Structure 1
Amino acid sequence: MTILMRAVEFSGRASAAGEILRARGARRDRPIAVLTRSSAALAILAIAAATLEAPLFPIDPSLPASIQADLLRQAGDALVVDDDQIVEIQSMIASAAGAPLAYAPPRGPALFIATSGSSGAPKAAILTGANLAASAAASATITPLDPGDRWLATLPLFHIGGFSVLARCAFAGADLVLCDGFDPERTRSILAAERITHVSLTPTMLAQLVAQGPAPRSLRHALVGGASLTAQRAHEAAALGWPVQPTYGMTETSAQIATLPRLPEGWRSGQMGRPLPGVEIGLTADGRLKARGPTIMRGYANPDLEPGDGLRDGWFISNDLAEISASGDLSILGRADDVIVTGGKKVLPSAIEDLLGACPGLGRFTIVGQPDPLWGHIVAIHYDGAIPPRELLDWCRRHVAGAHRPRAAHRIERFPLLANGKVDRIALRRLALRRESQTGAGGKNDPAAGDF
C-alpha cells in the first residue's frame, strides 16, 4: 500500500487520535508503545503523541514475544497500543479534519526506538525532540529538502532509518510518501509515478532497483546505508543515473553521522567523508568510532527516564571500527565483533565484500568466520545467488588472495533479513548450527561448500 502523507490531510486525525489516547491514559512523558506495521498509523500516532508531549515507542510486532516484552520493560510504565486498538481508533477518527499541524515533538524525550538487534537483543534508545531537530537540520546541509520535495520512506517507521524520514519531511514541510513493505517493481513504479525526489535505501534494495533499470528523472537523492555498500554496486548504480549518497549512522545517533553529497569517482566502500555539522567524532584506543553532539541520544531507555545510560562523558562509543584521516574524513572498516582471526591474521569482512562485488551470480551475501580446527576460523560466505558453491570457491581462488580468500561457501534458499534490510546474523548463526549438526565432523557432506 502506498500513501502520500501531507500534514493538511492527516493532522485532524492525529489531533483526534491524541484526545482518544489521552482518555485511555496517555500523558506527558509516559511512553506510548505502538505495535503495528502500518506506516500510516504510526505517522498519525507520532503527531498525536507529540501533541500530548508523550514519547512515541514504535515496536515491530513481528519480533518474538519475549523481545517485545523486554523492550516494554525497558520503557517502564508505557501505554500499549496494538493493531486491534488502532482499528478502533481509526474508525473513530475517519472523518476528523483540521488545519495543518506540523510535527512538533517535545524538546525532551520524544521517541523511544529499538536498535536493530542484528547481532544481539535490541535496546531502546531515547531520542529527544532536540535530537531529531538537530539531525534533520544537519542532514539538510548535505541533502537539501524543501517544500514540494517528496521523500519515499521504504523502511518501516519502527526503525530509525524510517522514522527519521518522517521527522525530516515534517520539519522541512516536504511531502512524505509511505510504503508498507519493499517490492522492487512496485517501488520503482512509485518512484516514477509519485515524482519522488528523495529515497532512503539499503544496499540490497539499491541492487534490486538497479536491476529494474535507470533511475527516474525526478530522483535527486538516494541515501544508501544500514549495511556495507560495495564499490562495485555503488558505481554500477551511479552509471545508471542513480544519485547514490553513501551514508552512515546508528539509532543512537538519530540516524546519520556522515553522508556524502554524491558518489565521488574512485569511491571505496566505507568512505563517508566529513561528519555532519555539530557531530564530533573520535576513536577509542582499540579503533572503535565514538561520537558526541546534539544528535546523540539521551541514553538507553530505563523506567525512570534517567539520562546518560550508554554514554560516557557525552560520548556514544559504537562497536564499529573506523579510520579518521588527517583532514577529518571518516571511513568505516566494519564491526569490531565481525573481525575474523584466521591463522593468527585479522581479517575485516568489509575488505572481502568489496573484492567479491565483481563475482557473477553471487546475489546477496555476507562474510562470517566459520570455526575450523586447524586455522581457528576460516572465511565463509553465506549467499543466495545462482552460482554453485564450488564454482564460487573456484572464483575466489582466482581473484582473492591470502587470508582474505573465502574457504567455505553456503548458499541459502532464503536470505535472513531484518525489517530494516540488515542481515539477521542471529538467524545466520542458527542456520550454521543446523548445518554443522547435519554434517558433523567427518560427515558425508562437504562442509566447505553446500546449500541449506
Structure 2
Amino acid sequence: MVSHQTPLDLSTDDNVILINPRFPKADFDKLYSLAESVQHELGLQAHVWIATSGSTADSIGSTKLVALSKKALIASAVSVNKHLQATAEDIWTQVLPHFHVGGLGIEIRSELAGSRVVPALKEGKWDAQHFYQTILKEKCTLSALVPTQVYDLVAHNLRAPETMRAIVVGGGVFDAPLYEQARALGWPVLPSYGMTETASQIATASLQSLQAQDYPEIELLSHADARSNEEGFLEVKALSLFTCYAQNTAEGARHWDPKIQGWFVSEDRGEVQGMALKISGRSKDYVKIGGEGTNVARLRAVLEQSALELNPLWPLHISLLDMPSERLGAEIHMVTTLNSSAAEKIANLYGEKVLPYEKIRKIHFVTEIPRTDLGKIQWSALRRILC
C-alpha cells in the first residue's frame, strides 16, 4: 500500500491511502495504520482510502475513512466526462487537494479523456488572481471549485476568460445570489451534489443551463440513482458507491458497510423529482467551511478542554457555534461571558489544536449564555442574541 501516488495508477491492484498531510502526525499515523489493518483484514485490492469530509468524529484520529474501489472512481469519472462532454482537447485547471474526491476526480477524468491538468495554486494555496492568470495563460476549459473560491472570483470582479466552458461547484452550499453574481461575470458555474462516499458528484446542472441566468436544477448523472426515505433523508445507489467505512473508536478499530441492498442512506435531507435532486440541508452539527467539512460538536469539546486547561471554571462560560458566512458558507464563532483577556487565551489555545479553517473568526461577549434547567445551551435563543 502506498500513501501517495500521482497520477493514480488505475491499472494495478495496489491500495492507496490519501490523508490530509496537515493532520497532526499522531492522527495521520493513526489513520494510516487503520487503513492498512482493515485493508489487510478484508483482503481489499485496488482501493483508495480517503478521509470523509463529512465525518462526525470526536477527534481527527477517529475520522471516518472511506474505501473507494478504483472501479467506483472510474465509473464516476466516466459519467462526469460524459456530462461535461469532456474530450482530449480540454484543459483542466486544478485547485482542489488530491486527498479529496474533488481533486482526485479531476486527475482520473483527465486521464480517461486524454486531457491535460494544469495546477493553479500559488505556492500550494488558493489565490483568485493566480487562478485567473493560469486560465488565461494555459487557455483552460474546465475546473472544479468550492463556493468560497467562486466568492473570491466575484469579490475580485474577475470576468471569466472565453476559453472556460464549465466549472463544477460543490463541497458546500452554493446559494442563488452568489450563482447569479458569478454568471453575470460570465463564469460557467454548474452547481453539483456529491460526497466522498460516491467518489465525487452524482448530480450536476446541465451544460444547457448555462444558456439561462436562473439558478438551475441539479440532475442525476448517468451512473447514479437516488430517492428519499420516510424520514426525508436522501438514499443513493450508484456505480461509484464506496465499499466500506473504517474508524478508530473508543472500543478499537472497526469497519462496516452501511449499504442496504445497494442503497446508501446519506445525512442529507432532500427529495428527488424526476432526474432532479433538491437538497434541503444536512444533519445537525455537521457544517462545511470553505468546502471543508467539520463537526461543530467536536470543536466545542476541543474549546471546552482548552478552557479547562487554563481554569477549571471557564468551560461554563464559553461555547462556540457555526454562523453564516457570505464567503465561506459558515464560520466558527466563540461566545463567552468572560473578559477579553481570558477569551483570547482560550481562543489561542484552541487554535493550536484545530485545522486552520476550524479556527475562531469572531468572539461574541455576552452577559449570559441561555441554558435550560438541565444546563443545556439553548442554541436558538443564543443565535437570536447574536443576530
Task: Settle same-fold status: TM greater than 0.5.
Answer: yes
Per-residue CA deviation, residues 57-81 of structure 1 (Å, 9 max, x unaligned), is: 12111113343233223212499xx
Superposed counterparts of 1:356-367, under 5 Å: none
Counterpart Cα distance in 1 of 2:246 and 2:113: 28
1:442: how far off?
Answer: 7.6
Q: Name the residue aligned to 2:215.
A: 267
What amino acid maps onto 1:137 in structure 2?
Answer: V
Q: Name the residue aligned to 1:126.
A: 67
1:118: how far off?
Answer: 6.2
Counterpart Cα distance in 2 of 1:258 and 1:323: 13
Per-residue CA deviation, residues 300-353 of structure 1 (Å, 9 max, x unaligned), is: 2489xx99623222111110111212x2311111102259xxxxxxxxx99xxx
Change (3 A) 1:210 1:286: same
Contact conserved, 1:155 with 1:181, CA < 8 A, in 2?
A: no
Per-residue CA deviation, residues 386-406 of structure 1 (Å, 9 max, x unaligned), is: xxxxxxxxxxxxxxxxxxxxx
SS of the aligned residue for 2:240 comes to coil
1:222: how far off?
Answer: 0.8
Superposed counterparts of 1:291-440, under 5 Å: 291-301=236-246, 309-325=257-273, 327-337=274-284, 381-383=323-325, 424=358, 427=359, 435=363, 439=366
Contact conserved, 2:47 with 2:69, CA < 8 A, in 1?
A: yes
1:119: how far off?
Answer: 4.8
Change (3 A) 1:182 1:309: same
What amino acid maps onto 2:176 in structure 1?
Answer: A
Counterpart Cα distance in 2 of 1:257 and 1:51: 24
Counterpart Cα distance in 1 of 2:99 and 2:109: 15
Q: Name the residue aligned to 2:22.
A: 62
Counterpart Cα distance in 1 of 2:146 and 2:76: 19
SS of the aligned residue for 2:187 comes to coil
Question: Of 117, 140, 143, which aligns to 1:199?
Answer: 143
Counterpart Cα distance in 2 of 1:314 and 1:307: 17
1:285: how far off?
Answer: 1.7
* Pairs aligned (count): 307
Change (3 A) 1:74 1:440: farther
What amino acid maps onto 1:215 in structure 2?
Answer: A
Per-residue CA deviation, residues 376-417 of structure 1 (Å, 9 max, x unaligned), is: xxx9735488xxxxxxxxxxxxxxxxxxxxxxxxxx9xx9xx
SS of the aligned residue for 2:3 comes to strand
Q: Name the residue aligned to 1:239.
A: 184
Per-residue CA deviation, residues 166-205 of structure 1 (Å, 9 max, x unaligned), is: 0000011000112432111111111111111001001110
Per-residue CA deviation, residues 224-250 of structure 1 (Å, 9 max, x unaligned), is: 110001101001111111001111100
* Identity in percent: 27
Superposed counterparts of 1:135-174, under 5 Å: 135-174=76-115
Question: Of 33, 47, 69, which aligns to 1:110?
Answer: 47
Counterpart Cα distance in 1 of 2:67 and 2:246: 6
What amino acid maps onto 1:187 in structure 2?
Answer: F
Contact conserved, 1:113 with 1:158, CA < 8 A, in 2?
A: yes
1:258: how far off?
Answer: 0.2
Contact conserved, 2:226 with 2:234, CA < 8 A, in 1?
A: yes
Change (3 A) 1:109 1:302: farther
Q: Name the residue aligned to 1:441.
A: 368
What amino acid maps onto 1:75 in structure 2?
Answer: A
Larger gyration radius, structure 1 or structure 2: 1
Counterpart Cα distance in 2 of 1:298 and 1:77: 15
SS of the aligned residue for 1:291 comes to strand
SS of the aligned residue for 2:267 comes to strand
Gaps spanning 5+ residues in structure 1: where? 1-30, 35-41, 80-106, 340-348, 351-365, 372-378, 386-411
1:188 has 2:144 as partner:
no
1:117: how far off?
Answer: 4.8
Q: Name the residue aligned to 1:276.
A: 221
Question: Of 176, 196, 200, which aligns to 1:251?
Answer: 196
Change (3 A) 1:189 1:110: same
Counterpart Cα distance in 1 of 2:369 and 2:246: 48
1:218: how far off?
Answer: 0.7
SS of the aligned residue for 1:245 comes to strand
| Aligned CA-pair RMSD | 4.0
Counterpart Cα distance in 1 of 2:185 and 2:66: 37
Contact conserved, 1:289 with 1:320, CA < 8 A, in 2?
A: yes
Superposed counterparts of 1:10-25, under 5 Å: none
Change (3 A) 1:177 1:313: same
What amino acid maps onto 2:268 in structure 1?
Answer: D
Counterpart Cα distance in 2 of 1:116 and 1:125: 10
Gaps spanning 5+ residues in structure 2: where? 249-253, 289-293, 301-320, 328-346, 371-381
What amino acid maps onto 2:82 in structure 1?
Answer: T
SS of the aligned residue for 1:209 comes to helix
